[in-house]
Amino acid sequence: MKSVADLGDLSGKRVLIRNDFNVPLDADKNITDDGRIRAALPTLNQLRDAGARIVIMAHLGRPKGEVNPKYSLAPVAKRLGELLGTDVKFASDVVGDSATAVVDSLQDGEVALLENVRYEPGEESKDEAERTELAKKYAAFGDIFVSDGFGVVHRKQASVYDVAKLLPSAAGSLVAKEVGVLKQLTESPERPYVVVLGGAKVADKLSVIDNLLKVADTLVIGGGMLFTFLKAQGHDIGTSLVDDANLETCRGYLEQAKAEGKVILLPVDVRVADGADFEGLKAIGDVEVVSADAIPADKMGLDIGPESEKLFAAAIREAKTVFWNGPMGVFEIKEFSDGTLAVAKALTEVGGLSVVGGGDSAAAVRALGFADEEFGHISTGGGASLEFLEGKELPGISVLEENN
């Protein structure tokens, strides 16, 4: 892939850049985590310093091809301007009169942000011709395209994939760094290599487990998915989340790991309650710690227990390479945040490369008070990083490699 440095003199050139500004907002449209905006700053400042006229494409939420003020990027434009220390011109549409006027008004070193690209039905269309038609409108705003939104490179969308075929293209520093780190995880990890997987559903991680069992030394399993593994071992799991359709698959992974001298590390104890109030963010009933092989029939497992925290942390601290994706419990509820907190803390103590795999994991470490600098790398793309680790081709990356 070409880098921004390979593009030559950018002074006066219009650079169309795809960023990932899909940030969380509260009810008052205040940004609650600006990590993805901060991650975009190095490339944007590089382009500003080069005298480029910068036109940013981004999305927020899932407006599904319709204009919806709930998903406006206006709060992002404001926060981006604060972080850049300059005015960010905001277009109130994507490819309409406002966008045209804003782009035409740009001077060297200035920055514009177009409204949410997902307001356009062609952006996520399965019809290549429809996407290409929209991509041509995007391309009219730029002389060069830079891809720097890693969180969307696994999507074949107009602002990610199709526009890259219409303009000279390069990867921004964020995308280049993400790909470099993930290649290290899959091709040349320093050992011991530990992968920590959590989150709710086993089905979401099957392909990752399948691929990483080939390269990792230890797989640590937490989150809601752990209960399917426990049930696969023959344990009762009470009312805990379970994926019965994949019990046999999990049983097969346990047997495969044993046969190949790998370790699948499961919790030895769990925190249980009658349930959880996800809207009120509180436990339902008293929280108890029970052995992982003795979960009461009327209780739900909602976090790993204190002995499991020690077990998992020890495995992580001994590693030279760690990749983590998915919380250990319902971390948004205080009573079930300790497992995720313990894993995050252990990652900050790794002597080698520690990678937080985006998505809920990145949100968790920030919500729990950790600084980005305490980890080797925090990915900006949970889905993209997982698909890379599954061995899938990422369209937004392959198109940059093909157009070199």
197 belongs to an annotated ligand binding site = no
For residue 8, the SS3 value is: coil
28 belongs to an annotated ligand binding site = no
Q: Looking at 359, 381, 382, 396, which residue is catalytic?
A: 359
Look at the block and give the residue holding tokens 């993400």.
178
For residue 164, the SS3 value is: helix
Closest CA to 364 of 266, 223, 194, 269: 223
Closest CA to 352 of 330, 395, 319: 319
Look at the block and give the residue holding tokens 């940013």.
56
173 belongs to an annotated ligand binding site = no
Q: Looking at 275, 352, 376, 383, which residue is catalytic?
A: 383
22 belongs to an annotated ligand binding site = yes
361 belongs to an annotated ligand binding site = yes
Instruction: Determine whether 383 is an active site residue.
Output: yes
366 belongs to an annotated ligand binding site = no
154 belongs to an annotated ligand binding site = no
CA dihedral 275, 277, 278, 281 (to 10 degrees): -120
16 belongs to an annotated ligand binding site = no
Instruction: Determine whether 359 is an active site residue.
Output: yes
141 belongs to an annotated ligand binding site = no
334 belongs to an annotated ligand binding site = no
223 belongs to an annotated ligand binding site = no
Q: Looking at 38, 78, 136, 201, which residue is catalytic?
A: 201
168 cis-preceded (ω within 30 degrees of 0): no
For residue 373, the SS3 value is: helix
Strands annotated E in 232-368: 263-265, 269-273, 275-277, 282-284, 288-291, 300-304, 321-325, 353-356
Binding residues for (2R)-3-phosphoglycerate: 36, 118, 155
Binding residues: 20-22, 36, 59-62, 118, 155, 205, 301, 332, 358-361
Binding residues for substrate: 20-22, 36, 59-62, 118, 155
**Which residue numbers are catalytic?**
36, 201, 359, 383
Binding residues for ATP: 205, 301, 332, 358-361
